Structure formats: C-alpha cells, structure tokens
A and B are shown apart, each in its own frame.
Chain A
Amino acid sequence: MSPAVQIDDLSFAHPGSDLPALERISLLVPPGESIALLGPSGAGKTTLLALLDGRLRGWQGRTSVLGASLDPDRPPLRARRPDTGFVFQEFALVERSTVLRNVLNGRLGRMSPLRALMGSPTSHDLETALAALADCGIADLAERRVDSLSGGQRQRVAIARCLAQEPRLILADEPVSSLDPARAAEILTLLTGAARARGATAMFSSHQPDLARRFAQRIVGISGGRIVFDVPTSDLSEEATANLYRDTERMPGVGLRAVS
C-alpha cells in the first residue's frame, strides 16, 4: 500500500510574500496512522494541511497523497478529492441548511454530476450520511438547521460531513481550538476513533501538546514553517515541546495568515 502522505523537500511561500510559510519539509505518513501537527499559531500547520488538500498552488518539491502526486500548478482531479477529507477550523458549514443537508454535501463528490446538481442522493448516499451522523452522535439533530447549533455540535456536523465523504485520509485543522477541554477530548476521541474504524489516516493540527499526546501515535513539531521534530508520541520529551514554543518567539517571518 502506498503511503498516505509522502512529502520530499517541500517549500512554499504565500503569493506576494518573500518569507517561506513552509521550508524544506519532508514527511512520510504510512496509511492508518494518526498523526498530530504540533506548533504555535502561524507555524505553518494550516498551510501544510491546505496544501495536502490540494488547495495551494506554486510550491516547490514533491508531494504525493494516497499514491497520487499533487501538481503544484493545478488542482487535483475532482474524482480524487473525496478521498481526502478536510475538517475546517471554522466548520465551513452552510448555516441555513439542515444538518443532514450539510452532511449530504460531503457526498457530492461521490455522486454523478446530475445527482449532485439536483441534490438527489441515492439510498447508499443517504445511508452513508446517516451512519456518519450516528457515529458523530448527532442522529437526533438531522433536521435541525446548523445556525441553531452550539459550537461543539457544529464541529460534530463538520466531522460527519467529512466522514460521509468516505475519505482515506482525514485532515483536520485545529479541530478543537474553539472548544473547552472536555468537549475537545470528546471530539478528538470521535475523530481519531472514526478514522481508525475506517482504516483511514488521520492528521490533525493542534497547539495543545497534551491533546496531541493523548490522541496521536506520532507527533510532528512545526515552527516557523519547518519541521523541528518528528517522533513517536512515547518519545516526545517535555523539553522538545517547550523548545517548540520558545523558539517561535524570536522566529522571523512568522505571522498569522489565512489560507483559503
């Protein structure tokens, strides 16, 4: 089986910026692993995840996802996109639509173009969406409108939409940054558990070392667009995480930058 993610010497700068957002990154993620990207805000975690989702252009180096190499000049083939699921930091849900509609939106890439346009899911699409809702513990919310939900419930909808996509690689950008510690642990249990049950690879970013430790088998420390360490969770030292955060305080060219 090909690796879930294979990155060789990847560098990227945002358009109009001289400073690299990612610098000489190399990473190999075998299928089925759950991996945390740990680092302070602006370290490049979101950029790296967006790049793996095929949303960034103009990078250097070689990157392949699920055995298919990404092209730095054009978006990935649409047929391949459902294989990589993305859980957005701000949920990115259609607020006025129902929970079920939003989760079915995750099936759009797997439907025929006509069905996708008409919004008429097959019974298999519907079953997959309902199963994802059940897995996320929100089956009873199916007919509720998203704008009536709490933050934790929205995050569950966002994860259910991602699972409905039947992805083989799940990328989650700060999936718990807006939740309290108890909710955060619940959501990460759900996310990593669902990935494991499906044999999917899960990669999530976080700036909280304790959560990364609890829910990832492997932790990659990122700071200033570079990989600072890449270790199995059991080998992660307190010192390494402390350095990760201390270094960034004097790291030049690190700033918050939105990636869309």
Chain B
Amino acid sequence: MRFRGFGGFAASTLVAGAILWSFMTTDVEFSRLLSAGPRIAEFLGRMFPPDPTVMREIMKGGAETLRIAILGSLGAVVLSAPLGILASETMVSPPLYRTVRTLLAFIRAIPLILVAMLMVGAVGLGPLPGIIAVAFHATGMLAKFYAEAIDGVSRAPIAALESAGAGPLARLRHAIWPQMAPVIARDTIFRFELNLRESLILGIVGAGGIGFYIQTYVRSFQYDKAASVTLAVIVMVVAIEAINVALRRRFA
C-alpha cells in the first residue's frame, strides 16, 4: 500500500509538473484566445456559402486520391505478403522475425506526411510520391497483421488433413487458407480505409490528390472554394467508413 501510495503521488506530481511546464514554455495567452472568436466567425463567414463551381476539381482530386489509395494499398499488399511471412513466428527463425518486426515498427513510427515529403523531394510533385509513401507507410502495419494472421492459424486441422492423406498443397488450400483468408481480407480492407483517409491530406505537401485543392484555395484566400472541397472530403470519409463497416461485418 505504501509503495502504491508513493507511486500515485509520484505520478500525479509528474503529470501536474508537465502541465505547468507546458503552460510556461508556450505562448498561451487568454487575450489571444478571446479575440479568436470573432476571427473564426469571420473565417467561417467567408467560407459560406461554399462555392459549388469547384465540382470539377473535387471530382478530379477525389479520383486522384482514390487512385493513390488503391495503388498505394496494392503496393503495401505486395510488400506485406513476403514481409508478413518473414515476420511470422511460425514460419522463420527468431532472429529473422525479430529483425523484420523491428524494421516494421520503425516503418510504423514514421508519419505518412513525413514519408510523403521525402518522396516529393525524391521523385517530384504529383501522385507518384503519394503512392510510394502510402505503400511504404501501410506496409509497417499490414505486414505485421499478415504475420499475426499466419501465426493465428491452428495447427491441429493441418495435422488432421495430413493424417487423412492430403498433400501439402491440398493442406494449404483446405486447412491453412480458410483460416487465414478472412483475417487477411478484413485487415486489408481496414488498411485500405486508413490509406484512403490519410491520402486525402497528401496534396498539402504536393503528393497528389484532393488535398492539393484545399491547400491551393486556403493559400489564395478562396475560402468558399476550400469549404466545398473540405465538405467533399468529409462526405468521402463518412462514405468510406460506412462501406467499410458493412464489409467488415461480412468477414467476422
């Protein structure tokens, strides 16, 4: 009890200290917060009514974002299949899967927007750096999921089919694949949803897609047009979410 009491005291001191320290070091001023109200009102006023004439740009940008997400996801699937096997505890030796898992953790730790900026620098503006960035970033998660799908396969039915005289390919097809396929499908759809959401903003760093227009219109003070594009993004996110929920139910 005494130790727990001490631990609790230490933890609350640490949290309180961190909060105080943060207030001291940044320019959080109440006067600025108070004057923000009218400014936001003005900002929103200039966004309203949204300019519907940008429909063409929305369709073009939305289609490009969708393409980035699809090709980026495809790239991630292609990379994750071998990496997933190499990160699996049941397929390879501990030194190998531990190394690959560490590599995947590093990949996951790098934010997508950072990868996209690096890729814009490497291959230039447009959807290509976006596709590469999504493929790279998504592999960090997807390969780990695939490895877990492989490791989650129960060995007993495989042994049972072998005992019944089934060959290795028949065992793969009838004992391993039925266990893995729904998990892989569900994980891939989930990652595709994330890819699509995340690639909506890639245009802000010049990596293609609908985000480019938000960036352009905000920079040129065309807030009514920016509002239309933002609304379109919100609609897309909600639609993706709804489709994904319906799909995931199928693979439960």
Indicate whether B178 reaches chain A with its CB closer than 8 angstroms. Answer: yes
Task: Name B175's contact: one of A80, A88, A105, A260 (CB within 8 Å).
Answer: A105
Indicate whether A108 reaches chain B with its CB closer than 8 angstroms. Answer: yes
A-B pairs with lowest CB-CB distance, top 10: A109-B165, A81-B165, A108-B166, A92-B156, A92-B160, A116-B170, A82-B165, A94-B157, A86-B163, A109-B164
Chain A residues positioned under 8 Å from B160 (CB to CB) = 86, 88, 92-93, 105, 161
- Bitwise, B150-173 to A at CB < 8 A (1) or not (0) is 000011110111111111011001
Task: Name B154's contact: one of A79, A95, A106, A116 (CB within 8 Å).
Answer: A95
Task: Name A81's contact: one of B156, B163, B169, B175 (CB within 8 Å).
Answer: B163
Interface CB pairs A-B, < 8 A, 9: A92-B157, A96-B182, A105-B161, A106-B164, A108-B164, A109-B164, A116-B170, A161-B164, A165-B164
Tell me what chain B mostly uses at the interface: helix, strand, loop, or mixed: helix
Cα–Cα distance between A53 and B159 once the two chains are bound (Å): 11
Chain A residues positioned under 8 Å from B178 (CB to CB) = 94, 96-97, 101
Please state if B165 and A78 are interface contacts (CB–CB under 8 Å): yes
Q: Given A55-B159, A105-B161, decide whether A95 and B166 contact each other with a Cβ distance below 8 A.
A: no
Chain B residues positioned under 8 Å from A94 (CB to CB) = 157, 174-175, 178-179
Please state if B164 and A81 are interface contacts (CB–CB under 8 Å): yes
Cα–Cα distance between A237 and B156 once the two chains are bound (Å): 37
Chain B residues positioned under 8 Å from A93 (CB to CB) = 157, 160
Count of chain B residues near A, Cβ 8 A: 21
- Bitwise, B32-49 to A at CB < 8 A (1) or not (0) is 000000000000000000
Chain B residues positioned under 8 Å from A92 (CB to CB) = 156-157, 159-160
Chain B residues positioned under 8 Å from A161 (CB to CB) = 160, 164
- Those of B128-161 within 8 Å (CB) of chain A: 154-157, 159-161
Task: Name B170's contact: one of A84, A101, A117 (CB within 8 Å).
Answer: A117
Cα–Cα distance between A94 and B164 once the two chains are bound (Å): 14
Closest to A117 in B: B169
Return A163 CB to nearest CB of chain B, in Å: 11
Chain A residues positioned under 8 Å from B164 (CB to CB) = 81-82, 85-86, 105-106, 108-109, 161, 165
Return A167 CB to nearest CB of chain B, in Å: 9
Indicate whether A137 reaches chain B with its CB closer than 8 angstroms. Answer: no
Cα–Cα distance between A80 and B178 once the two chains are bound (Å): 26
Cα–Cα distance between A124 and B246 once the two chains are bound (Å): 39
Chain B residues positioned under 8 Å from A53 (CB to CB) = 163
Chain B residues positioned under 8 Å from A110 (CB to CB) = 165
Chain B residues positioned under 8 Å from A117 (CB to CB) = 167, 169-170, 173
Please state if A79 and B157 are interface contacts (CB–CB under 8 Å): no
- Bitwise, A11-44 to B at CB < 8 A (1) or not (0) is 0000000000000000000000000000000000
Chain A residues positioned under 8 Å from B166 (CB to CB) = 105, 108-109, 116
Cα–Cα distance between A85 and B178 once the two chains are bound (Å): 22
Indicate whether A143 reaches chain B with its CB closer than 8 angstroms. Answer: no
Task: Name B174's contact: one of A81, A91, A108 (CB within 8 Å).
Answer: A108
Closest to B181 in A: A96
Cα–Cα distance between A106 and B174 once the two chains are bound (Å): 11
B155, B165, B175 pick with most chain A CB within 10 angstroms = B165
Chain B residues positioned under 8 Å from A86 (CB to CB) = 160, 163-164
Closest to B169 in A: A117
Return B146 CB to nearest CB of chain A, in Å: 17
Closest to B174 in A: A105
Chain B residues positioned under 8 Å from A116 (CB to CB) = 166-167, 169-170, 173-174
Return B182 CB to nearest CB of chain A, in Å: 6
Please state if B165 and A260 are interface contacts (CB–CB under 8 Å): no
Cα–Cα distance between A74 and B170 once the two chains are bound (Å): 20
B160, B167, B169, B175 pick with most chain A CB within 10 angstroms = B160
Indicate whether A113 reaches chain B with its CB closer than 8 angstroms. Answer: yes
Chain A residues positioned under 8 Å from B163 (CB to CB) = 53-55, 81, 84, 86
Indicate whether A119 reaches chain B with its CB closer than 8 angstroms. Answer: yes
Chain B residues positioned under 8 Å from A101 (CB to CB) = 174, 178
Chain A residues positioned under 8 Å from B156 (CB to CB) = 88, 90-92, 260
